[in-house]
Structure 1
Amino acid sequence: MAEEVHMSGPICLIENVKGQLTANQEALSILSDIQQPVVVVAIVGLYCTGKSYLMNRLAGKRSGFSLGCTVQAKTKGIWMWCMPHPQKPDHTLVLLDTEGLGDVEKGDNQNDCWIFSLAILLSSTFVYNSIGTINQQALDQLHYVTELTHRIRKRSPCDQDEVGDSDEFVGFFPDFVWTLRDFSFELKVNGLPISADEYLENSLKLLQGTGQKEREKQLNLPRICICKFFPKQKCFVFERPAPGKKLNQLESLQDQDLDPDFVEQVAEFCSYVFRSSKVKTISGGLRVNGPRLKSLVTTYVDAIRSGSIPCMESAVLALAQTENSAAVQKAIAHYDQQMGQSVKLPTESLQELLDLHRTCEKEAIKIFTENSFKHFNQVFLKELVTVLETKREEFCKKNLQASSAHCLALLQDLFSPLDEDIKQGTYSNPGGYCVFMRRIKELKKNYYEEPKKGVLVEEVLQKFLQPKEDLADAILQIDQILREKAKEIDVEHVKAEAAHSISKILEEIKKQSDQLMEEKEKFYQELVQELFEKMEKEQAQLWVEQQRAIDKQHNCTTVGQRPASPFRVN
């Protein structure tokens, strides 16, 4: 189980200094430690409308995010508060409180548009907070949503097609929640009570028959965007929390000091957010954890700072580059660890080494597959395969070296008494040649009986015995007068044995070569099958996302009788 992150209070995630957005490294470091899936709830709205109070209640606190009790905006940039999710074990709740929109001290709404866009890009539930009712003025204040097609792009320009990014926003946009503060009206239409959600739905119906086409189009634009972009809409209304001056001490007020209806409405809002907010996901349905959220933050902020438009696909690509590279290293580390524990060099045969390599190789490929995504051109998989092949060759080389060293040490130990006998002249007498050859044969037998010599048993033996051939000839010459006939027989025997040994060496080399080729063929066949299956799964997921977008577009057009999207992609 991943370790839970407990923050005592919020910290600035994206700093806003003189209109320049910068990611705070301390906050990014906190995200790096969150390995659990994250549910990200962001809130935006005009300044001094009580956004921070709602976020504090989601955090289970009365204070934390700064409450603005004066006409001056308090929150600057985007602030983050991470905590264990209260209803979803092994999940982390990330709350994002944004600086108030429409602050007259800024004098430029371009910065507000970027804050609004970042809140959408980073969240899985997007809360828009406003005062009063949903009227045309409230919708006009939500003009930021109409500018999203100029602020957010799903794909890079070269990948866009006739459908356009705006039609695909619903595939990765968060759920939309509109919170109406200080709402003092009855929820009724034509004298009949309605729910807050029905109130929102009625408010988003398109205006028709005004007689002014351009004005009608302008008035309907926010309505179209909310319905078209966001996969799900929800509405909550809140009574005024307390009368008069008490609002200035909202942080210190207990529930019994607040309006009972307001307390109930806040509890209902928190319950809904905890229950219905989903894990943040990106293209392909990939669940976002802390490090992935960190990557999204840095990618989007860097794009804005450079004057570019944040692109979802580019962010996913950057994340894939980072994670796939890490997945390669993780797979290699696992391979090295398993081979280090499993392989005891030298192995008795090449096949034994290849079998161990194959087992560890398959585990490494599995680890890479589990920790990677978006295999563009299989670049990282090819890199991993190349590294593993190189490591296999290195193990084969080390296996040969270990076998050679072990066999040589064993031969030197076994033949040391023979060398001492030669120095003492034990075989320099009649019949010495036969005794010498018998001794050689006994020592070779002892050598063959020793286990774990590896794959170079014959090669090392033949190389070791070569210097002793001249010695055998010398002993044979001494013995030739008395054992001339025996000499001829033994010479032929030595030649035959040498020919047989050479034949065995050639056979072994061919066998090892055949084994290597067979192993490589098996591996590539299985690898192709695994890649095919993985690509099918990713294609199926992408089809689901596209189908969801098409269905949403169809529903919006059918139910609301809304006109086609006003946006056009160049």
Structure 2
Amino acid sequence: GPGYVTKLTELIRAKSSPRSDGLEDAREFVGFFPDFIWTVRDFTLELKLDGHCITEDQYLENALKLVSGQDPQTLVSNRPRECIRQFFPRWKCFVFVWPVSDPQLLSKIESIPESQMNPKFQEQLKNFCSYIFTHATGKRLGEGILVTGSRLGNLVQTYVDAINNGTVPCLENAVKTLAERENSAAVQRAAEHYSEQMAQRVRLPTDTLPELLDVHSACEKEAIAVFMEHSFKDDQWKFQKKLVVIIEERKGAFMEQNESASLSHCQAELDKLSASLRESISHGAFYVPGGHSLYLEARKKVEQDYEQVPRKGVKASEVFQNFLKSQITVEESILQSDKALSDGQRVMAVELAKNEALEKELELMRQQQKKKEQEIETRMRSFSENMDQLQKKMEMERENILRDQERVLDHKLKALRDLLLEGIEKKYEDLRREIKLRDEEIKALKKSLIEKILDVVRDILIKILSLLGDVGVKILSSAK
């Protein structure tokens, strides 16, 4: 009610920094106040003003006009009008006739079918509902921040805590507290979305690292969108940075799981494929003339079979490289015991083995370098995605701020226009009353002067006539 509105600035502050004069600027409240929708039930009056038909909104406008006068009763009467006009950006009015013609049925109104209600009431109700569902906006905290159910609960808790501590609740501080809670929850929700989607979409081990990183980028994009949807007033991007760090950590964990899965899978497959080779070595099958050539063929067969294993993952080359390293001593032993080879052939075989080992080491290093480049590219993609979504959110927030500012500016311009018009009208009325008063004073003064002149003239005439003796007496007698 208006009584609560008039006390609002005493019970709550909009800004944490008070004005220089120590007073709350009540105009700040218009930035987050809703539209003022006034419903008048059981309306029996005619929508007319000075004999002309008016709309419901014009009826409200007329009701909110300030009453002229400076007496205490008038000031008290004008206070709620001033508050409604000052705090609320827009005003709307709906009037409702009696829902039923029989007053006795009002006590049973809930059980009366809608079809039996006054058709005019039904029409008014339909217009009211249509306006609410179409035009009425949800509660906002300025800058386009929509108050959801959870946010309202947090706001209430913040206000209660402030009141219990003996301080005046401050909307600006409450919004900061609310933002901290909401943004922390938004980070958690976004991070959980990332983990859930990665677990659902990634089959470990992935065949290649880009396969994992592409899924990561898609899940990260969704996670950032979740954060943007549920966060607000993230000053200096404090919470978005937290999300970046968390997702980077969880990406690292998935990469480790992927490598671990690839390592165990490749090792298990290679152990199966090389079982025959190890058995032949232990039985001395290659320690015969020409054994080195037989060994190389058997090892090549293991390598070819290993290449055919599907989805080995990112550790495929490293696992096989480690297998080759484990075979160096065995190959040297077989080479030295092969009587079919000359010393020159042995030297050539050793050189060939060294070159092959070096080539595979270089290939492994190239793969590791490529892995680093892919990770850097993914981080750049992550940075770009964060910036793109942040820019879109900032543009949306800017539009909301501009829309709110335009809304407040429109209200202030309307209030200023109304005040000017009312001020001009009041000045006109004051001037008209002053002119009338002055006119009456002038008339009274003129009348007073004429009466005084007549009195003087009469006294002079009496004196003159009295000097004429009998003739003067006759003139006076006849004048009477």
* Smaller-chain TM-score bracket: 0.7 to 0.9
Within 2, Cα distance between the matches of 1:456 and 1:233? 69
CA offset at residue 168 of structure 1? 2.9
CA distance in structure 2 between the aligned counterparts of 1:542 and 1:530, rounded to whole angstroms: 18
1:274 aligns with 2:122: no
> Which residue of the partner structure matches residue 148 of structure 1?
8
C-alpha separation in 1, matches of 2:110 and 2:314:
81
Paired AA for residue 508 in structure 1: Q
- Report the equivalent of 1:538: 397
Q: Is the 8 A contact 1:480 1:487 kept in 2?
A: no
Q: How does 1:81-230 map to 2 (within 5 A)?
A: 128=1, 142-157=2-17, 165-178=25-38, 189-190=49-50, 197-208=57-68, 210=69, 219-230=77-88
Shift of the 427–201 alpha-carbon distance from structure 1 to 2, 3 Å rule, reads closer
Q: Using the TM superposition, name which of 152-161 and 377-386 deviates more.
A: 152-161
Change (3 A) 1:515 1:200: closer
User: CA 1:268/1:161 → structure 2, altered by over 3 Å: closer, same or farther?
Assistant: farther
Percent identity of the aligned residues?
Answer: 39
Q: Is the 8 A contact 1:284 1:541 kept in 2?
A: yes
| Matched letter for residue 82 of structure 2 | I
- CA distance in 2: counterparts of 1:395 and 1:160, whole angstroms: 56
Cα distance, 1:211–1:364 mapped onto 2, change above 3 Å: closer
Instruction: Kindly provide the amino acid, as one letter, of the partner of residue 154 in structure 1.
Output: A
The separation in 2 between residues aligned to 1:302 and 1:387, in whole angstroms, is: 32
> Are the equivalent residues in 2 in contact too, given 1:345–1:403 (CA < 8 A)?
yes
Which residues in structure 2 correspond to 1:153-552 (within 5 Å)?
A: 153-157=13-17, 165-178=25-38, 189-190=49-50, 197-208=57-68, 210=69, 219-235=77-93, 250-252=106-108, 267=122, 270-277=125-132, 278-282=136-140, 283-480=142-339, 483-552=342-411
C-alpha contact (below 8 Å) 1:197/1:234 kept by paired residues: yes
Report the more deviating stretch, 223-232 or 490-499: 223-232
Gaps of 5+ in 2: 424-480
Offset at residue 309 of structure 1 (A) = 3.3
Question: C-alpha separation between the residues in 2 aligned to 1:160 and 1:401?
Answer: 65
1:477 shift after superposition: 2.5
Distance 1:427 1:343 in 2: 44
User: Matched residues in 2 for 1:201 and 1:271: separation?
Assistant: 23
Deviation sequence 1:508-537 (CA, Å, 0-9, x none): 121111221122123212322321222122
Deviations 1:300-328 (A, max 9, x none): 44444443334444444444444433333
In 2, Cα distance between the equivalents of 1:473 and 1:161?
94
TM-score by length of 2: 0.74
Alpha-carbon distance, 1:500 to partner: 1.0
Query: Structure 1 residues 286 and 161 mapped into 2: Cα distance closer, same or farther (>3 Å)?
Result: farther
How far apart are residue 255 of structure 1 and its match?
A: 9.4
**1:548-559 alignment runs, 5 A limit:** 548-559=407-418
- 2:186/2:231 contact within 8 Å kept: yes
Structure with max Cα Rg: 2
The alpha-carbon distance between structure 1 residues 159 and 295, as it changes in their structure 2 partners (threshold 3 A), is farther
Deviation string, structure 1 residues 55-90 (Cα, Å, up to 9, x no partner): xxxxxxxxxxxxxxxxxxxxxxxxxxxxxxxxxxxx
Q: 1:160 to 1:364 in 2, by over 3 A?
A: farther
Asked if the contact 2:30–2:88 (Cα under 8 Å) also holds between the matched residues in 1, the reply is yes
Tell me, yes or no, if the aligned pair for 1:255 and 1:263 is still in contact at 8 Å.
no
How big is the shift at 1:190? Answer: 4.4
| Cα offsets for 1:158-184 (capped at 9, x unmatched) | 799999642132232233344567777
Displacement, 1:417?
0.8
The 1-side partners of 2:267 and 2:9 are apart by 74
Deviation at 1:196, TM superposition (A): 5.5
Q: Structure 2: how far apart are the matches of 1:161 and 1:508?
A: 70
User: Does the 8 A contact of 1:237 with 1:265 survive in 2?
Assistant: no
Higher normalized helix content (fraction of residues):
2
Instruction: Tell me the SS of whatever aligns to 2:36.
Output: strand
Amino acid at match of 2:31: G
Matched-pair contact (CA < 8 Å) for 1:206–1:560:
no
State how far apart, in whole Å, the 1-side matches of 2:147 and 2:48 are: 41
Q: How far off is 1:496 after superposition?
A: 0.9
C-alpha contact 2:34 2:137 (8 A) present in aligned 1: no
Kept in 2, the 8 Å contact 1:205–1:560? The answer is: no
Seen in structure 2, the aligned counterparts of structure 1 residues 406 and 187 have a Cα distance that, compared at 3 Å, is closer
Local SS of the residue matching 2:255: helix
Q: Is the 8 Å Cα contact of residues 204 and 223 (structure 1) preserved in structure 2? A: yes
How far off is 1:233 after superposition? 3.1
In the aligned structure 2, how far is the partner of 1:439 from the partner of 1:159?
89
Cα distance per residue 1:186-238 (max 9 Å; x no partner)? 66554556555444433432233x466x8865553322211111223345667
Say whether the 8 Å CA contact 1:279–1:287 is kept in structure 2: no
SS in 1 for 2:312: coil
SS at match of 2:331: helix
The CA distance in 2 between the partners of 1:401 and 1:181, in whole Å, is 73
Give the stretch that moved more between structures: 215-224 or 420-429.
215-224
Give the stretch that moved more between structures: 452-461 or 547-556: 452-461
Structure 1 unmatched runs, 5+: 1-127, 129-141, 564-570
In the aligned structure 1, how far is the partner of 2:109 from the partner of 2:207? 79
Q: CA deviation at 1:332?
A: 2.3
Query: Displacement, 1:379?
Result: 2.3
